[in-house]
Structure 1
Amino acid sequence: MSEIPLVPVHWHFPAHPTSVRRARHAVAASLPHVLRPHLGDDLGLLTSELVTNAIRHGACREDDDVIELVLWPADGHYWLAVSDPGTGKPLLAHPDADAENGRGLLLVDHLATTWTVRPRPTRGTSVIAGLALRQSG
């Protein structure tokens, strides 16, 4: 008999800065206790960066847009998809040392085992990042 996969966890948050903290806490709380020491900090940081970028660059607050998160384990990774209604494609930037912004995707690139940007079938863009499940020892 095949093992039944876990159902992805799914959230919607308003495109508002207070949602960054709420999303980070929701993701952390849904991670199995045994994985929190190995993935919790990195997954929390990925969540913060991706939700912040979605709010800043992919949503129009006056339209009551929402940010969608999906978290699921598959293929030896924990995957996080953060989606917004925007049509732009986030690009990895290399800001000057004096720049106050622009380092979010550099951090995502450093933390994630792999990541990509995909258009959504109906409306918007998703950034999907995977963290490898590390074995303790």
Structure 2
Amino acid sequence: MSSVPAARAWAHGLLAVRLAPTALDDVLLLLSEVVTNAVTHSDSGRTAGGRVTVHLTYGPEAVHVEVTDDGSATSTPAVHVPDADADGGRGLWLVDLLATAWGSSRHDDEAGRSVWFQVAG
């Protein structure tokens, strides 16, 4: 899954000189989780030509990250308490734990959905 390292490298290049190391680590971890979810649980990863788009905004108070995918008819973003022995299932749980705010929305005028989060800058 080349999308995750590409998104991390892009965000790191934009934010490394602007954020404290701990905030940068949180942004990169959460970005990795949300992009992984977009590829794994949406039509973006299940259909040829599927797309995942990352928008990042840096402000004096916070970094805002929004990941948009092609949506899914079979799943919606939800926080689940992870099983301690499970290999996965921690993505949105980590977002809920580390982000100062987060949410998701469906795009009514087109196919797709977005998951966004903010981390204090």
Same fold (TM over 0.5): yes
Structure 1 or 2, whichever has the larger Rg, is 1
- Partner Cα distance (1:75, 1:124) in 2: 30
- Partner Cα distance (1:60, 1:28) in 2: 24
Q: Which runs of 5+ in 1 are unaligned?
A: 1-16
| Backbone CA RMSD of aligned residues | 1.8
Query: Percent identity of the aligned residues?
Result: 38
Aligned to 1:79: 64
Aligned to 1:68: 53
Which amino acid is the alignment partner of residue 27 of structure 1? A
Deviant stretches of 4+, over 4 Å: none
Aligned to 2:25: 41
Aligned to 1:98: 85
- Partner Cα distance (1:96, 1:38) in 2: 26
State how 1:1-137 maps to structure 2 within 5 Å: 17-31=1-15, 33-58=17-42, 59-74=44-59, 76-87=61-72, 88-120=75-107, 121-133=109-121
**1:100 to partner: Cα distance:** 2.1
Aligned to 1:9: none
Q: Which runs of 5+ in 2 are unaligned?
A: none
**1:45 to partner: Cα distance:** 0.4
- Partner Cα distance (2:91, 2:81) in 1: 10
Which amino acid is the alignment partner of residue 81 of structure 2? H
Q: So what's the TM-score if we normalise by structure 2?
A: 0.86
Q: Secondary structure at the match of 2:52?
A: strand
**1:122 to partner: Cα distance:** 1.8
